[in-house]
Amino acid sequence: MKIHNFKVKADFAGMRLDQFIALQGVELSKRKIREVIDAGGVYINRKRARIASRPVNPGDTIEMQYSLENLKRIKQREYEIQPSDLLFDHHHVIAINKPPGLPTQATRDQSVVHLEAAVKKYLASKGHPNAKVFLVHRLDKETSGVVLLATTAESVTFLTDQFRCRTVGKEYLALCSGIPHEKKFTVECFLSPIDKRTGNVTVVRSGGKPSKTFFEVIESNKALGMSLIRCRPETGRSHQIRVHLASKGFPIIGDKKYQPGKMPMTPALESLAAVHHFLHAFHLTFIPADNEKPVTLEAPLPINFLEFLKAANFSSRS
């Protein structure tokens, strides 16, 4: 049995519990730290703490107990769709507010849970164990927000045609490093395919696909050098918004691929930014079926995003 004891100093005030522990030099990954918390192996001031995002306070005493052998047996818990995650379920169309960190579809590691499988499980719980699920579009693993899925071939064709014809209204929120000089600006360029070796997309002069995004600054914090930006992509290339903003010198905070170096910030903000990058598919407007009116869905921001905005003194929430 491993036992660690920590005392929270003033510099770490407001930091997430799991992030605080990760900075104390323990031998566990952040995922394993969260598993220990979930299993009841962490105590704050002698009281068991099971919420990884709980903030720590100066003077808190934290005790952590775990067995490496037991941790090896802990399997990743399956993500289950919660009522608050379900944004739409009509006309053979399902819309989910995908949490950050959840892949949209299966990866090479078959043990990793993903949204497509979670929707199949949700349909099975509703009495449709053999229902088919088709992804209409995708979001990057760390990007949160609205994802559309269909349960019939006719529906997925009807929806993908709208994406192909660019009649779907898409709006994202991005929290970025830097402050643009203009309130509104547009980025239009050619983007390469995802590099199989690095996983990155780059701006190219030729040989790529055209891309275009409209940006509008909602609010800026000059003291911290951060901006909350509304993004309206006209095209839908891989990593498009992330690359467009980074190419203009405004990388998304927390983006491990396109933010060069670490942005100076308080430990509390740094711990929140370490969890996932701050890009969220906020609004989506589409026609669900023939002879139906357009539907606009709004996906609430994830808790970690909201906590960062609050800690960074942003007044805007949408």
- pLDDT computed for residue 305 by the predictor: 94
* Range in 29-43, 82-96, 103-117 with the lowest mean pLDDT: 103-117
Please give the average per-residue pLDDT across 116-137, as a whole number. 89
The domains of the chain, with CATH numbers, are 2-73 (3.10.290.10), 86-311 (3.30.2350.10)
Angle made by CA atoms 313, 102, 261, in degrees to the nearest 5: 55
Please give the average per-residue pLDDT across 124-148, as a whole number. 92
Q: Is 27 exposed, middle or buried (0-12, 13-18, 19+ CB in 10 A)?
A: exposed
Q: Look up residue 10 and give its amino acid.
A: A
Residues 6+ apart with CB under 8 A from 206: 190
> Is residue 285 scored above 50 in pLDDT?
yes
Please give the average per-residue pLDDT across 278-288, as a whole number. 97
- pLDDT computed for residue 164 by the predictor: 94
Comparing 294 with 313, which gets the higher pLDDT?
A: 294
Comparing 316 with 234, which gets the higher pLDDT?
A: 234
- pLDDT computed for residue 78 by the predictor: 60
- pLDDT computed for residue 106 by the predictor: 67
- pLDDT computed for residue 76 by the predictor: 47
- pLDDT computed for residue 317 by the predictor: 55
Catalytic annotation present for 140: yes
Could you tell me if 118 and 159 are in contact, meaning their C-beta atoms sit under 8 angstroms apart?
no
The per-residue pLDDT of the chain, averaged, comes to 90
> Is residue 104 scored above 60 in pLDDT?
yes
Please give the average per-residue pLDDT across 27-34, as a whole number. 86
Please give the average per-residue pLDDT across 64-81, as a whole number. 68
pLDDT in tens, 196-243: 889 999 999 988 999 999 999 999 999 999 999 999 999 999 999 999
Q: Give the pair of three-digit tokens for residue 290.
A: 């023939």
> Is residue 111 scored above 60 in pLDDT?
no
Closest by Cα among 206, 174, 139 to 314: 174
> Is residue 286 scored above 90 in pLDDT?
yes
Residue in 18, 140, 255, 290 annotated catalytic:
140
> Is residue 113 scored above 80 in pLDDT?
no
Distance CA(12)–CA(268), nearest Å, equals 6
> Is residue 108 scored above 80 in pLDDT?
no
Please give the average per-residue pLDDT across 240-253, as a whole number. 97
> Is residue 107 scored above 70 in pLDDT?
no
For residue 72, name the pLDDT band (cuts at 50, 70, 90): low
- pLDDT computed for residue 297 by the predictor: 97
Please give the average per-residue pLDDT across 11-26, as a whole number. 91
Q: Give the pair of three-digit tokens for residue 184.
A: 């509104």
Comparing 116 with 106, which gets the higher pLDDT?
A: 116
For residue 73, name the pLDDT band (cuts at 50, 70, 90): low
- pLDDT computed for residue 129 by the predictor: 81
Q: Look up residue 109 and give its amino acid.
A: D
- pLDDT computed for residue 101 by the predictor: 87
Question: 37: helix, coil or strand?
Answer: helix
Q: What sign has the CA pseudo-torsion 19, 199, 141, 110?
A: negative
Return the HEC string of 216-243: EEEEEECCCCEEEEEEEECCCCCCHHHH
> Is residue 98 scored above 50 in pLDDT?
yes
Closest by Cα among 126, 139, 134, 47 to 97: 139
Please give the average per-residue pLDDT across 308-314, as a whole number. 91
